[in-house]
Amino acid sequence: MESMLTTNQAARRLGVKPATVYAYVSRGLLTSKKVNRHSMFEVADVEALAQRTGARGAVAAVTDRIRTRISLLENDRLHYRGRSAVQLSATKRFEDVAHWLWTEIDSTGMQFPEGQEIWMALPESATLTDRVRVAVALASAGDPLRFDLSRAVTTAKALIADVVESLPLQQRPMGTDIADRLWARLSPEPPEPDLLNTTLILLADHDLAISTMAARVAASARAHPYAVVSAGLGALEGQKHGTASTLAHRFLLQAETDPMGAIAEHLRAERPIPGFGHYVYQQRDPRADHLLTVLRAHGDLVADKVIATQQRSFPNVDLALAQFGVTFKMAPDAGEAIFAIARIVGWIAHAMEEYAEPGLRFRTLGVYTGDRP
């Protein structure tokens, strides 16, 4: 027998109450069949109605319960606890913005610990984000107090410092701020820590991005902060999330010598030009706009030549991050590392919110579509 859905399953898929499902039947929008005295619905019919009504089903039932005071995405703008992320990136240090996101306490001159160098034997093929992931796991193993969730802020400060310390040095750090320390590990060029500080702040949080959802689910199970960050890093590794800047970086390297040729090659292969458009923003990515504006003070941008050819879309932060890496001769995956280190701030902030909620609240029931017993 073709798989069918029960009334409760159909209700979850449609994001409504069971009584509403019966109302759909009475209005002729759904057809029910009696199977062993129970009303059943064909999957195709329910899916067709879900498409017409724009139902988000079980996903909506979960995400609509997430109340957050951390980030606001509205009208193509990004705010951290009511403050413009762009303005914060121009006036604040990364450490102070992190403290603001974690505690809602405004600070100036917040210091993170020195960080301990974590020795790791990795193959030459290991990327910078591989090192970040391993550093998080090793830092966790070395912290006997990791299950004390009340220490989340202290843990996060030490973890970010340790992760930065785990990356190989390219030059001596010129200062003690996270941006100074991280620059020395990403670029051989003369330091521009203010620019890196701006980038870190712009990437610190982004509402319920997929990696943040993964982090909150882990926190809902009362995973300690290291495990929360590991969950976020796992989702960040996806091709449609954190690794997008690496693809954009490699594309810009091609476009440096022949912009139109690089674009034509992608179009011929029916591949989208990386670094354009966004799932949330409609007309502009404010993070990309600001970062590209700042980068233009350091010379002509190959990204601008590409942007000029894309009339139907807008550059996103992945393209800006890629241009940042290209401008300062960073490795193609440097953008991923910057993204990951910055987003640890947001993951911990969301974890702290989630620790205050009932545990395991994201346990959902799947809509079974296989053969029924």
pLDDT tens for each residue of the chain, 373 residues long:
456 888 988 888 888 889 999 999 999 999 999 888 889 998 888 888 887 877 766 556 566 668 899 999 988 999 999 999 999 999 999 999 999 999 999 999 999 999 887 777 888 889 999 999 999 999 999 999 999 999 999 999 999 999 999 999 999 999 999 999 999 999 999 999 999 999 999 999 999 999 999 999 999 999 999 999 999 999 999 877 888 999 999 999 999 999 999 999 998 999 999 999 998 899 999 999 999 999 999 999 999 999 999 989 999 999 999 999 999 999 999 999 999 999 999 999 999 999 999 999 888 777 777 777 7
Contact in structure between 41 and 7 (CB atoms under 8 Å): yes
Residue 78's beta-bridge partner residues? 73
Phi, psi values for residue 363, rounded to 5°: -75, 105
What's the CA gap between 271 and 255, in Å, rounded? 15
CATH 1.10.580.10 fits 71-242+333-355, yes or no: yes
Domain boundaries, the chain: 4-63, 71-242+333-355, 244-327
- 0.75 exceeded by the pTM? yes
Phi, psi values for residue 79, rounded to 5°: -125, 140
The fold of 244-327 is Cytochrome p450-Terp; domain 2 (1.10.230)
CA torsion sign, 295 to 297 to 299 to 305?
Answer: positive
What's the CA gap between 184 and 204, in Å, rounded? 20
Q: What amino acid is encoded at 189 in this protein?
A: E
The gap from C-alpha 169 to its chain's centroid, in whole angstroms, comes to 26
The fold of 4-63 is Multidrug-efflux Transporter Regulator; Chain: A; Domain 2 (1.10.1660)
CA separation, residue 105 to residues 99, 102, 110, 190 (Å): 7, 8, 11, 33
As to burial, measured by CB atoms within 10 angstroms (0-12 exposed, 13-18 middle, 19+ buried), residue 151 is middle
How many other CB atoms sit within 10 Å of the CB of residue 150? 10
Instruction: Provide CB contacts within 8 A for 347, sequence distance 6+.
Output: 211, 212, 215, 228, 229, 232
What's the CA gap between 181 and 164, in Å, rounded? 7
